[in-house]
Amino acid sequence: MNVTVAQEKGEASATPAKRRRLVVIGNGMAGCRAVEEILARDSTRFDVTIFGAEPRVNYNRIMLSPVLAGEKSFEEIVINGQDWYDDNGIALVSGDPVTGIDRKNRKVVTRGGRIEGYDTLLIATGSDPFIIPIPGKDLDGVVTFRDLDDVDKMLAAAEKGDANGGAGNAVVIGGGLLGLEAAHGLSLRGMRVTVIHLMPTLMERQLDEAAGYLLKAELESRGQTILTSANTKEIVGNDGKVAAVLLEDGTIIPADIVVMAAGIRPATGLARAAGLEVERGIMVDDHMVTSDPDVLAVGECVQHRGLCYGLVAPLWEMCRSLADHATDQPSGYGGSVTSTKLKVSGIDLFSAGDFSGGDGCEDIVMRDASRGIYKRVVVKDDRIVGAVLYGDTADGNWYFDLLRKEEDISDVREALIFGQAFASGGGALLDPNAAVAALSDDAEICGCNGVSKAQVVACISGGAHSLDAVRSTCKASASCGSCTGLVESLLAVTLGDDAVESGPKTMCKCTSFTHDDVRKLIVEKELKVIPQVMQELHWTTPDGCASCRPALNYYLLCAWPGEYVDDQKSRFVNERLHANIQKDGTYSVVPRMWGGITSPNELRAIADAADKYQARLVKVTGGQRIDLFGIRKEDLPAIWADLNAAGMVSGHAYGKSLRTVKTCVGSEWCRFGTQDSTGLGVQIERMTWGSWMPHKFKIAVSGCPRNCAEATIKDFGVICVDSGYELHVGGNGGIHVRATDLLCKVETEAEAMEHCAAFIQLYREDARYLERTAPWIERKGMDWLKEALFAKPGTVTELARRFRYSQTFWQDDPWAARAGGDRRDLHSHIAEVRPLSIMENA
């Protein structure tokens, strides 16, 4: 027995009279989470003692599978270390379970004889594994899968192997979540694994027949033997130890260890002995109060409105309601809609709601056999009632949110099966950040730790500006990591372009490679199409996701200009439409104005387009252009055709590309101007427009050190001085303003343009996708940048050459194809028919 008393009992200074005594039976996830929620509401109300059966601090049981598989250590799955108990004045009694409750005298007694009084008792005893009542169930080598001791027994069996020094045979009885995760871990540890499942479909409570078939095929391809519709008759022993498993049909399966994973039952023994009302679980009301008002209960041991829950998400909802009640805040638990994910590496599986179908239900199904993708959404009365996803689960949270809130999906019915990106983007790929932004505040982000979108956003707004900071503050993404992409998107949405990266990380959940690795391998292995990259680099998803596909498309464009064909379906919808979607569902359109210069003809064309397409707002942007708001999506091709006909092309205000080149009037008009800043700005814009970048890119040219064009907060800035041009890089005017660093000084416009092209090309070839120049330079350093550009003679010229070559293929306008003709021909035509007045007057 281990006893840690962080606060001495009975001392008035340590235990104020106003504190009530809260005793918690159960040091697991539910009990400790309930205490966390209470402390968050009122840290001075209770004097807390927690009793735990295991001789350990609180850890994440749902992460036992990665520990078994060797993917995590015990230390990595600890939720509350000893410092948490100490800091909060909690007495932890570990390894000495409570064996009796005296409700009349409000006391509990432990196996070791310790007696503890309480004012409020919280029972969080969890569940017990169901042991199939068959001969041999008590043999040495039969284990369950509920705690760390079980994991240690399985690891010992895997290390020992069989009697002949081989890998050893493991039989797992039960093809549910726990059974399959145990089988996966033992398989990774080198054992020959057989899974025995009574029902014809694996995970039949969470999967339909089609998804169960795909899962079975995948597990068998990994070397496991999966026996469905198989009934275990006996566990055969030899000298008191497991030797084999006998099935009803006579099949004998050798076994060095047998894992019982046939289900769980609420642990109600203590409550029943104490006279509390118990059916399948301990009966509780909406406030988690039992039949005794001084006794609360929470977690897998309870029964609420006729239901017992064996998944973690409902536990968190129960804990919040319990804490509200314990601190006199009105609230109540109304039950949970649950979702399921399988924590087996490389298998994407999601299930939620009721997929049994029936009268009034409609199945929407998408199958892609070659990619191993199966999606089924069950709809009734224009509302989702169930969903099963296999092979691609990126939209699981979205479907679950729609299901839980019973939202009407009739408006997105046609695109529903293709996911949120298409349903929200009108059939085109939507920026994943925008998709996460569209989730409701109470949408669940992290199921392992019960963290909602609102909690993650509050954590970020409170100062957690990196993935690691979010993990340590609110625990989102701190466990299995499947929600990492969602948390990263929330960081990007909340902080904008200035979200802090937490160091090298994989591109997304589809791959174990970082952005830098992928860029390097694309060139080294001469990978020239997206499917080839995914095949050669062992992508874990069949077709990528909304995070990696745009990045791969960009990296291939950059690596193989002229060879790689831009994959439009791998672009975000705003890049495809050349328009920014607004919160009312309409779009804004920004035609390009070279260096901020326009003409009466252009202004007439813009005014005509605004009238014709009923723009609701016409605004001058910060980049010296005109933005037309309120354009309907169906009018976008037509408005761009009209603007193209007037000689105007896209301002690319919507893409990961050059946005604007801001200028002041310079020496031609300003009495302080030292150089022709407008003319240089126009030349730079003509040189760089239409070029795709890792992120948006802004340029400015100021005619004198007074810097009216704000060149020192742009990605590339030029300050004109009497003796030439000062070139600045890495500025950002966003949430975290960053002034530029001085790169160098040159004497001529030609040199300024050459250095601009070289800097852009180096940025394009080295930076990670969605990394702006400011964090790129801060990551790489100005010393590295200057050495990369200037250490070797001729580097600037070579980079500029590669930039100009790539522009031959990149400097186009996708909407030009809608107007007819070759894109590059149309670009040349526009350049010919649209002379620049500033250049004519120079």
719 strand-pairing partners: 702, 726
Strands 349-353 and 383-390, sheet pairing: antiparallel
- Categorize the per-residue pLDDT at 464 as very low, low, confident or very high, splitting at 50, 70 and 90: confident
User: What is the CATH classification number for the domain harbouring 646?
Assistant: 3.90.480.10
User: What is the CATH classification number for the domain harbouring 289?
Assistant: 3.50.50.60
* pLDDT of the residue at 415: 82
Q: What is the number of alpha carbons within 13 Å of residue 181 lying toward its C-beta?
A: 24
pLDDT over threshold 70, residue 213: yes
Structural domain ending residue among the three candidates 571, 588, 617: 571
* Position 414 in a domain: no
On whether both 805 and 818 belong to a single domain, the answer is: no
510 marked among binding-site residues = no
Structural domain ending residue among the three candidates 210, 242, 262: 262
Q: Provide mean pLDDT across the span 734-747.
A: 89
pLDDT over threshold 70, residue 710: yes
Does residue 618 come out as left (phi exceeding 0), alpha (psi in the -120 to 50 range) or beta?
beta
* pLDDT of the residue at 578: 81
Whether residue 119 contacts residue 113, with contact meaning beta carbons closer than 8 Å, is answered with no
On whether both 818 and 801 belong to a single domain, the answer is: no
On whether both 795 and 688 belong to a single domain, the answer is: yes
pLDDT digits (tens, 9 = 90+) for 214-231: 899 889 988 999 999 999
Concatenate the DSSP letters of all residues of 500-518 into one string: PP-SS-BSSTT-S-BHHHH
Own/partner contacts of 672-677, CB < 8 Å, gap of 24 or more, are 672/703, 672/704, 672/706, 673/703, 673/704, 673/720, 674/703, 674/704, 674/720, 674/721, 674/722, 675/703, 675/720, 675/721, 675/725, 675/749, 676/703, 676/842, 677/701, 677/702, 677/703, 677/709, 677/718, 677/720
* Position 607 in a domain: yes
On whether both 728 and 778 belong to a single domain, the answer is: yes
On whether both 26 and 164 belong to a single domain, the answer is: no
Q: State whether residue 223 is helix, strand or coil.
A: coil
* Position 478 in a domain: no
| Tokens representing residue 455 in the block | 């909690």
Q: Provide mean pLDDT across the span 610-626.
A: 85
On whether both 302 and 165 belong to a single domain, the answer is: no
Percent of the chain scoring above 70 in pLDDT: 89
* pLDDT of the residue at 510: 77
pLDDT digits (tens, 9 = 90+) for 337-377: 888 877 666 688 889 888 777 788 898 888 776 677 889 99
- Range(s) of the domain holding residue 664: 659-810
pLDDT digits (tens, 9 = 90+) for 544-575: 787 888 999 999 988 888 888 888 778 877 77
Query: Who has greater pLDDT, 154 or 465?
Result: 154
pLDDT over threshold 70, residue 500: no
720 marked among binding-site residues = no
pLDDT over threshold 50, residue 13: no
| Tokens representing residue 646 in the block | 């007037």
On whether both 609 and 643 belong to a single domain, the answer is: yes
Number of domains in the chain: 5
Burial 587-624 (b: 16+ CB within 10 A, else e): bbbbbbbbbbbbeeebeebbeebbeebebeeeeebebb
pLDDT digits (tens, 9 = 90+) for 628-664: 888 888 888 888 888 888 888 887 887 888 888 999 9
* Position 842 in a domain: no
* pLDDT of the residue at 8: 38
* Position 434 in a domain: no
664 marked among binding-site residues = yes
pLDDT digits (tens, 9 = 90+) for 56-114: 999 999 889 889 988 889 998 999 999 999 999 999 999 999 999 999 999 999 999 99
- Categorize the per-residue pLDDT at 824 as very low, low, confident or very high, splitting at 50, 70 and 90: very low
User: What is the CATH classification number for the domain harbouring 775?
Assistant: 3.30.413.10
* Position 553 in a domain: yes
For the chain, the average pLDDT equals 85
Q: Provide mean pLDDT across the span 312-323.
A: 92
- Categorize the per-residue pLDDT at 497 as very low, low, confident or very high, splitting at 50, 70 and 90: low
- Categorize the per-residue pLDDT at 596 as very low, low, confident or very high, splitting at 50, 70 and 90: confident
Query: Who has greater pLDDT, 439 or 286?
Result: 286
* Position 368 in a domain: no
Q: Provide mean pLDDT across the span 510-524.
A: 86
Distance CA 248, CA 25 (A): 41
Q: Provide mean pLDDT across the span 711-735.
A: 92
Which of 318, 58, 583, 446 has the alpha carbon at shortest distance from 459?
Answer: 446
* Position 524 in a domain: yes
On whether both 200 and 101 belong to a single domain, the answer is: no
- Categorize the per-residue pLDDT at 244 as very low, low, confident or very high, splitting at 50, 70 and 90: very high
On whether both 169 and 199 belong to a single domain, the answer is: yes
Q: Provide mean pLDDT across the span 270-281.
A: 97
Which of 470, 507, 515, 462 has the alpha carbon at shortest distance from 490?
Answer: 470
Neighbours of 583 (CB within 10 A): 5
708 marked among binding-site residues = yes
On whether both 589 and 561 belong to a single domain, the answer is: no
pLDDT over threshold 50, residue 10: no
On whether both 172 and 228 belong to a single domain, the answer is: yes
Structural domain ending residue among the three candidates 276, 299, 326: 326
CA diameter of the chain: 102
On whether both 182 and 203 belong to a single domain, the answer is: yes
